[in-house]
Structure 1
Amino acid sequence: MRHRITVAGMAVVLAAGVLAACGGVDEPEAAPPRTVLVPGRPGEANRTEVAGPREAAQPTADEVEFVQMMIPHHAQALEMSRLAPDRAFDERVRSLASRIDVSQKAEIAMMKSWLDENPKAVLEAHGENHGGRHADMPGMATPEQMERLEEARGAAFDELYLTLMITHHQGALTMVDDVLDKGTDVPIQQLARDVQSGQAAEIGRMRELLAE
């Protein structure tokens, strides 16, 4: 009798295990850690590393500085472009200015939000004396140039706007070169690529308009 009870008890335990395995769809077991072989440098032995999700890397000080400088850089492009509807002669110049206004306004909003979401990186960047070169931003129009642009009308405005904006865009591309592929933050690296491709294309278009 005792032997039959023991056998029966084992059967119940086994059945419960089978049911648990079948019902484990809702709570899958975590995948065991994996290791990958990483080749060593010449003369060094290979090593193994644990593969799996890692904590996102902290944005670099250069990325923080890029964002903090690009916001006022974009802001001046908006200031210049908002003069076009009342001053430009060529409809194509007005259309270009409108596109710059829309795209860079959206990028400013994204960058301000990013700074709010990364207070630790911003604080550490300031501790490393980054963010203090706003006066050295490449491509920025001088106050005198901005005054001339506000006073210009018609074809004179078109020529001056395109000339200043080409220089302004070239400055942005210089800033992109300083941060692209030198940081760790995915959104900022993607933003840098978007600025690079978008503003390079706009420089080409503006040069075409000036050449006509």
Structure 2
Amino acid sequence: MTAYTHALNRRLSRRLAVVAAITAGGLLLAACGGNDMEGMDHGSGSSASASPTQATSENPAPGAFNDTDVMFAQMMIPHHEQALEMSKLADSRASDAEIKTLAEEIEKAQDPEIQTMRSWLKAWGKPESAEESMPGMDHGSGMSGMMSDEGMKKLEAAKGTEFDRMFAEMMIEHHKGAITMAEDERKKGRNATAKKLAADVVKTQSAEVEKFEKILDRL
């Protein structure tokens, strides 16, 4: 694995650890609130709720937003970045034509989504990384669906059918993690644009999971 790949994985882990901690804190507050929290807008704390914004060419995600919307973008950006890193390996390592096609489709879909979510955060006045909001936190935990450094190293070392099988298995797990985050955004998010992208993620990646599972059945 290249030094760049190691650095990227460490950066992704730090970002996701902070987001996981923030999410855990939100769940704890909700649990402590009991029935008194019912009906409250998720992420309605002082830093989360925003007044409705006017639709302009400079605001790609107009309207009110909450903490869930912000965390969705901050989590999904590094999640997509790792999927792109995995997919780029398929060009020189995969032997199965369908694996290569799916890897190309993932790159075409997720790279533009990364740019879109970055534009939301900029318009909302929020940092791309949750780590920037909470410096000094423990970054040791990970997130569902993200591959470890060891897993990425094994994928990079594999070729042919071994790579095809490993890529399919890892991408299924990775996609399921993204689907979980997107479902949470659909349920708890407030911004219509963010919820629409979340719905697209669920639809697209669920279909890709089915394709990968069929590939595994024949490999």
Residues 151-209 of structure 1: CA distance to partner in whole angstroms, max 9, x if unpaired?
A: 00000000000000000000011111222132221110001000000000000000000
Please list every run of 5 or more consecutive structure 2 residues that lacks an aligned counterpart in the other structure.
1-50, 54-62
Q: Which has the larger radius of gyration?
A: 1
Instruction: State the match for 2:36 in structure 1.
Output: none
User: Relative to structure 2, which stretch is displaced further, 80-89 or 136-145?
Assistant: 136-145
Say if 2:127 and 2:133, in contact at 8 Å, map to a contact too.
no
Query: Which has the larger share of strand?
Result: 1
Instruction: State the TM-score, normalized to the length of structure 1.
Output: 0.67
Aligned counterparts of 1:127 and 1:71: Cα–Cα separation in 2: 14
C-alpha distance in 1 between matches for 2:132 and 2:148: 30
Change (3 A) 1:85 1:127: closer
The reply to whether residue 79 of structure 1 matches residue 105 of structure 2 is no
> What does residue 65 of structure 1 align with?
71
Distance 1:134 1:105, change over 3 A: farther
1:156 aligned partner: 162
Q: Please tell me the root mean square deviation across aligned C-alpha atoms, in Å.
A: 2.4
Assess, with a 3 A threshold, how the Cα gap between structure 1 residues 171 and 115 changes in structure 2: closer, same or farther. same
Contact 2:72/2:185 (8 A) holds in 1: yes
User: Paired residue for 2:101?
Assistant: 95
Provide the secondary structure at the position in 2 that maps to 1:139: coil
Question: 2:96 corresponds to which letter in structure 1?
Answer: D
Verify: 1:186 aligned to 2:192, yes or no.
Answer: yes
Per the alignment, residue 114 of structure 2 pairs with 108
> Post-superposition shift, 1:138?
1.1
Cα gap change, 1:128/1:62 in structure 2, threshold over 3 Å: closer, same or farther?
farther
Aligned match for 2:210, one of 193, 204, 208: 204
1:31-54: CA deviation from partner (whole Å, max 9, x where unpaired): xxxxxxxxxxxxxxxxxxxxxxx9
How many angstroms apart in 2 are the aligned matches of 1:180 and 1:85?
A: 33
The higher-RCO structure (CA 8 Å, 6+ apart) is 2
Structure 1 segment 12-31 matched on structure 2, within 5 A: none
The amino acid across from 1:186 in the alignment is A
Give the percent of matched residue pairs that are identical in Structure 1 and Structure 2.
39
| Structure 1 Cα separation of the partners of residues 160 and 102 of structure 2 | 15
Residue 167, structure 1, aligned to residue 141, structure 2 = no
How has the CA–CA distance of structure 1 residues 58 and 126 changed in structure 2, closer, same or farther, with 3 Å as cutoff? Answer: farther
